[in-house]
């Protein structure tokens, strides 16, 4: 037998899962081949380490707790789905109403501030002098200086 064939069947050989004729052929090859004998020793050490490791103990209630947690999460997602109407429709509507109320309130406050001054007097005394600065000083005299 070739060494590659031995390496492929080595695990089955060590566990005793091969037919008796093949087991004898592999034993004969291992005793005659130093490389395969070293490989068998390393493989036995590796398997010994793996067998020494204790498997994780699964608690009997693990599945029950996991299932309960998953159901709780699904319930929370279903409850959150009910809020999609709030997020998609009602929240923008409420924001728009509040914005319009703020604009309306600002307009009303602005009306109250100017109600004491007549519109023509306000324009003549407050706004017009800023627009008519050129009458106070002609542009030519300003540029000539």
pTM for the model stands at 0.38
What mean pLDDT value characterizes the chain?
79
Task: Return the minimum-mean-pLDDT range out of 5-14, 26-35, 46-55, 110-119.
Answer: 110-119
pLDDT one-digit tens code per residue, 29-63: 888 888 888 988 998 888 888 878 767 777 778 88
Residue 115 three-state SS: coil
For residue 22, the surrounding DSSP H or E stretch is helix 20-32
């Amino acid at each position: 037998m070739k060494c590659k064939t031995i390496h492929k069947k080595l695990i089955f050989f060590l566990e005793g899962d091969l037919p008796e004729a093949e087991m004898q052929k592999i034993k004969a090859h291992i005793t005659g081949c130093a490389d395969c004998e070293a490989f068998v020793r390393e493989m036995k050490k590796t398997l010994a380490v793996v067998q020494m490791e204790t498997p994780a103990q699964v608690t009997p209630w693990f599945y029950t707790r996991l299932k309960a947690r998953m159901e709780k999460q699904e319930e929370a997602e279903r409850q959150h789905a009910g809020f999609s109407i709030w997020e998609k429709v009602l929240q923008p509507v409420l924001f728009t109403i509040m914005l319009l109320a703020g604009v309306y309130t600002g307009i009303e406050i602005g009306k109250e501030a100017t109600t004491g001054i007549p519109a023509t007097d306000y324009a003549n005394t407050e706004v017009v002098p800023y627009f008519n600065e050129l009458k106070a000083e002609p542009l030519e005299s300003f540029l000539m200086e």
